[in-house]
Amino acid sequence: MRKLYASDDRFLLQSVRSELDARNIPYLVKNEFAGGAVGELPWQDTQQEIWVVDEQWFAKATAIVDGLMEPGVSPNSAQEWRCPRCREMNGAAFDYCWQCEEPRTGSHVQNS
């Protein structure tokens, strides 16, 4: 199990969880009910943490978080795109198809 993301921003956490849910990525939330204890606990303990249960999902889960945190990209208003290869719908923040890893456009295939 590996820690994916931690925040005290409930909106961001919910966005991440929604994306993980949509992709059927197994995860756990820690400190989900610790919010009432602010002032009693060190600040770290009031953050919620999202942990990816299975290591094999971690890279994709990280890509989700990166996509969501990208400035100016709203997961709700941005345009989704359909993979030309497998017809999977992908969020606008993603440059590669979730299903088959086909690049969003064929023009900039590269390793980073």
Q: Is 102 an interacting residue with respect to Zn ion (CB under 5 A)?
A: yes
Determine the interface stretch with Zn ion among 11-19, 27-35, 57-65, 80-88 (rule: CB under 5 A). Answer: 80-88
- Cα torsion 63, 95, 85, 61 to 10°: value is 10
CB of 96 to Zn ion, least distance (A): 8
CB of 59 to Zn ion, least distance (A): 16
Q: Going by C-beta distance under 8 Å and a sequence separation of 6 or more, which residues neighbour residue 104?
A: 81, 90, 94, 95, 96, 97
List residues binding Zn ion (CB under 5 A): 83, 85-86, 88, 97, 99-100, 102
